[in-house]
Structure 1
């Protein structure tokens, strides 16, 4: 079993499960433009005033140019983000909620096409080298994300991270999203491992809770995304600044 140096500890594990956004991909750098473009597309399709623009941006998680931690785009699934948009369209524009969901999902899909996924595939500094080192040391690496499978594969490919990933589990493949353990259970089946042979690495409290609920060997919180240290301190088994704090222990 390969040894992992994580922070100042040496850990024996076989699988390392990573969250994607805020852990591997520098989503906080991407999300402001993504949110603004989604709203522009909706405005083009429906037509509404500046106040509604600001409400929709905030509903997704953007306020005065900054992404709000633990907002829908940060900790929610794509479907949940669309639902937040559709609810505002229902309350303020009188658009039936099911029609609003269609419009919101259309805006999300069209935004990806107009912006291109390549522009959104920005790895956090140090991530490519760290994954390469862990992969070559014999760890089985996986990604558990609230994003959908097609988008996840594309982003990981364009970010240059796909060659190091053995398995994925995405929101559209399981019944329950984080913090339920479903994503980890699916990954473990694909890796041929038990949850207790794996560690879970993520930037949000939901990632840590998912790992705990699944019974992983250890949870590791990183400070590159959704959660501040004080939010996961005492809940996560270990906290490191970013995943470059994880290296083969040999």
Structure 2
């Protein structure tokens, strides 16, 4: 990159592990997943039902199809909602309508329109709930010379709008969004692409995320550490511990050192 940055490290089990690059997931890692996305998904469903002019149990079926409990709003960590890009979510909604007797093409068009209407109905991005002190945390990493990257299944337009609203748009050296790298998570190509662009090997890279998919991607890429985050995510601790090198309650619990 033609730029010198000192090598920082993460303290783990009494060891100092070199870390020149940290790759973050977005939803559930930098922002609270359920608090941010469940209200928007409910709004999408409301617009869809309005277009259809009916309900008859369809609302509950749609929410369940996306992995959301209709009564509690709880997100299924094994469902599509936490890991699927927008394009997949539209297909899931389309299938739900098709199973209720609606033609496929019409269903796909209606679901896509409902998504667009909900997204445009007031600036939902202003209701995004960031993890406490995340801006300060990322700023400190930049000051310490650590490269930072964002790997998300969200669309670039929405990602950039969210980062801008949270005043975090300048805190990442590289951002990769849905559809920009194939195959997607949990395939390691997203991490490998970031490492190539920044000329930093996976062995000096750390993956931080809230999902099993994030951890699997990191493992397959051969990163130095995979760190699971509980605050803001929906994956139970015991599930993350099966695949992550270690799990912390909050990003604020990470301990750094200099080399």
TM-score scaled by length of structure 2:
0.89
Query: Residue by residue, what CA displacement relative to the aligned partner does 1:150-197 show, whole Å, maximum 9, x if unpaired?
Result: 111111111222221111111221222211112212222332222222
**Cα contact 2:34–2:75 (8 A) shared by 1:** no
- Taking a change above 3 Å as real, the CA distance of residues 33 and 50 of structure 1, as seen in their structure-2 partners, is farther
**Cα distance in structure 2, aligned partners of 1:93 and 1:124:** 41
**Cα contact 2:35–2:128 (8 A) shared by 1:** no
CA RMSD of aligned residues (A): 1.8
Instruction: Give the deviation of 1:101 after TM superposition.
Output: 2.4
Instruction: Give the deviation of 1:55 after TM superposition.
Output: 0.9
- Taking a change above 3 Å as real, the CA distance of residues 195 and 102 of structure 1, as seen in their structure-2 partners, is farther
Q: Secondary structure at the match of 1:92?
A: coil
Query: Residue by residue, what CA displacement relative to the aligned partner does 1:79-118 show, whole Å, maximum 9, x if unpaired?
Result: 221111110110103221x432232222222211114143
**Cα contact 2:206–2:223 (8 A) shared by 1:** yes
Any stretches of 5+ residues in structure 1 without a counterpart? none
TM-score scaled by length of structure 1:
0.92
> Which range moved further: 57-66 or 202-211?
57-66
Any stretches of 5+ residues in structure 2 without a counterpart? 1-5
Quick check: 1:16 aligned with 2:22? yes
Following TM superposition, the consecutive aligned residue runs of length 4 or more in structure 1 with deviations greater than 6 angstroms are none
- Taking a change above 3 Å as real, the CA distance of residues 141 and 216 of structure 1, as seen in their structure-2 partners, is same
> Which range moved further: 51-60 or 100-109?
100-109
Quick check: 1:89 aligned with 2:97? yes
- Higher-helix-fraction structure: 1
- Taking a change above 3 Å as real, the CA distance of residues 50 and 36 of structure 1, as seen in their structure-2 partners, is farther
| Paired position in structure 1 for 2:172 | 165
Select which of 10, 22, 30 maps to 1:5. 10
**Cα distance in structure 2, aligned partners of 1:122 and 1:5:** 27
| Paired position in structure 2 for 1:37 | 43
- Taking a change above 3 Å as real, the CA distance of residues 100 and 6 of structure 1, as seen in their structure-2 partners, is farther
| Paired position in structure 2 for 1:249 | 257
**Cα distance in structure 1, aligned partners of 2:11 and 2:161:** 29
Quick check: 1:99 aligned with 2:103? no
- Give the number of aligned pairs: 249
**Cα contact 1:117–1:155 (8 A) shared by 2:** no
> Which range moved further: 213-222 or 118-127?
118-127
**Cα distance in structure 1, aligned partners of 2:163 and 2:147:** 16
Equivalence map 1:55-66=2 (5 Å)? 55-63=61-69, 64-66=71-73
